[in-house]
Copies of this chain bind each other. A is one copy, B any other.
Amino acid sequence: MRRERRSPGNPLRMPTLTERIAAGDRRALATLISRIEKHDPEAPAILGALHERTGRAMVVGITGAPGTGKSTLVAALAGAFRRGTAGHPPRTVGILAVDPTSPFSGGAILGDRIRMRDLAGDEGVFIRSMASRGRLGGLSHATDSAVRALDAAGFETILIETVGVGQDEVDIARQTPTVIVVESPGTGDDIQALKAGILEIADILVVNKADMPGADTTFESLCAMLGLGGGEGDGWKTPVMKTTAATGEGVDALAEAIHRHRAYLRESGEGRRRERERAEADLRERLRERLFERWRQSGRMDLAEMARKVAARECSPEEAVEELLK
């Protein structure tokens, strides 16, 4: 029974996708995100037109190794934001579940998303999976665009869940004002080793599955590792928190910590600084892509033929690039 809305002033003109998204039309939003994923050439213009409506959402990245219960935690957090917590009223929530390990199939794995079933049917929640499309950097760019779309559509909180522990997570985290790194007790020595690298991107550290044996040990070793990197004085002090997402224990407190971090970003000016940095990195990537496209369309050289020469050891890649740029 869906009716097409008509734009004001001209009852005969159908509203554009931009207008429908601005008006909170969920179907229009889903269409735009699909176009973003497919690298539809019209998507950038739509996002450009929506740009002035962005910058209002509270954007949170949730990352960590497989098996830490991230999906359950994201669903529980979404519930906490929807209900509201002691210090903050209810908010609408958009969820992006990003799966960089699925570069060839072209479809994100939805198995774990079943845990988000409780949220289905709530008009104030929008859930979307995003899979990598193979191209280097393609996923973090598409995720960034999807965040902008959700932001423009008026979702007040945006949770980005990433599966995996590679460069993609770091790239996506860099686009995210607030980063939560999730650990769980007893996940083996490899993960212990990973912490050192991942710690540095965390604004909030969470030990999930806090009811499991070993949770206290994990909690204390994380506190100790954070202590080692300390001594900065008056900046944000990364808190370590315990949650049991399956029962909801500690989840409201985590939601409150997210609000606190947002307030810190705003009051310290750090939020604006990070946003400028992100914008610059984004412009650089866009330029790289556009300059290459321009070069290719000039059609002067055959990349495939040059690649054949390199593979046959007729010339080195270093020489090939000089030749191609002539």
Contact = CB atoms under 8 A, between A and B. Distances in A.
A266 B54 CA distance: 53
Interface string A171-207: 1000000000000000111111110111011000000
B109 A196 contact: yes
Nearest to A113: B193
A283 B308 contact: no
Given A66-B165, A109-B196, A288 B286 contact: no
Contacts of A216: none
Contacts of A279: 307-308, 310-311, 317
B276 A287 contact: no
Nearest to A187: B67
A264 interface: no
Interface string A264-287: 000000001001111110111111
A288 to B, nearest CB: 5
Interface in A100-159: 100-105, 109, 111-112, 132, 134, 136-137, 139
A112 B190 contact: yes
A272 B310 CA distance: 11
Given A197-B101, A197-B104, A318 B164 contact: no
A28 B170 CA distance: 33
Interface stretch (A5-13, A45-53, A231-239, A241-249): A45-53
Contact of A101 (B101, B198, B286, B308): B198
A304 interface: yes
A290 B317 CA distance: 13
A165 to B, nearest CB: 4
A301 to B, nearest CB: 10
Interface in A296-323: 303-304, 306-308, 310-311, 313, 315-321
Contact of A66 (B49, B65, B304, B315): B65
A6 to B, nearest CB: 26
Contact of A187 (B66, B103, B282, B316): B66
Contacts of A288: 288-289, 291-292
A14 interface: no
25 contacts: A47-B316, A66-B191, A99-B197, A100-B166, A101-B170, A102-B197, A104-B201, A111-B189, A112-B189, A136-B137, A136-B167, A136-B171, A137-B137, A163-B165, A164-B164, A166-B167, A278-B311, A279-B311, A279-B317, A283-B310, A284-B303, A286-B317, A287-B292, A291-B292, A291-B294
10 closest residue pairs by CB, A with B: A166-B166, A51-B316, A66-B190, A48-B318, A67-B188, A280-B307, A101-B197, A102-B197, A48-B316, A279-B307
